[in-house]
Amino acid sequence: DAGVTQSPTHLIKTRGQQVTLRCSPKSGHDTVSWYQQALGQGPQFIFQYYEEEERQRGNFPDRFSGHQFPNYSSELNVNALLLGDSALYLCASSFLFANTGELFFGEGSRLTVL
């Protein structure tokens, strides 16, 4: 049973560029959340997708956008990259009606902005 998979694992961009990160949720999961983890910090919630719609959003600017596809996979897009966007981006999946509260995480995409 494949867990949460993310791609790419590492990428380097320059300021002002745009980036797309991808996530496939764990089999049976219908909800995908994205988190940003700066170096030495805990993850911060960006947004959550369910039924192809953004359901909840954290305190991130509109430069951060996303999408969820009919197969539940998801993309995170960041426009006009800033140096401060350098971080590990984690995707987490869950089943909306699960009663465990648990999220399953991927290994993350490490973004470096130069």
Partner 1 sequence: AQTVTQSQPEMSVQEAETVTLSCTYDTSESDYYLFWYKQPPSRQMILVIRQEAYKQQNATENRFSVNFQKAAKSFSLKISDSQLGDAAMYFCAYRTSGNTPLVFGKGTRLSVIA
| Residues making contact with partner 1 (CB under 8 A) | 31, 33, 35, 40-45, 48, 50, 55-56, 58, 88, 90, 92, 94, 96, 100-108, 110
Q: How far is the CB of 72 from partner 1 (least distance, A)?
A: 15
Q: How far is the CB of 53 from partner 1 (least distance, A)?
A: 13
Nearer to partner 1, 19 or 90 (CB): 90
Nearest Cα to Cα of residue 78 among 32, 10, 25, 15: 15
How far is 47 from 85, CA to CA, in rounded Å? Answer: 15
Nearer to partner 1, 16 or 41 (CB): 41
How far is 34 from 85, CA to CA, in rounded Å? Answer: 14
Is residue 85 classed as helix, strand or coil in its secondary structure?
A: helix
Nearer to partner 1, 31 or 68 (CB): 31
Q: Are strands 44-50 and 53-57 parallel, antiparallel or unpaired?
A: antiparallel
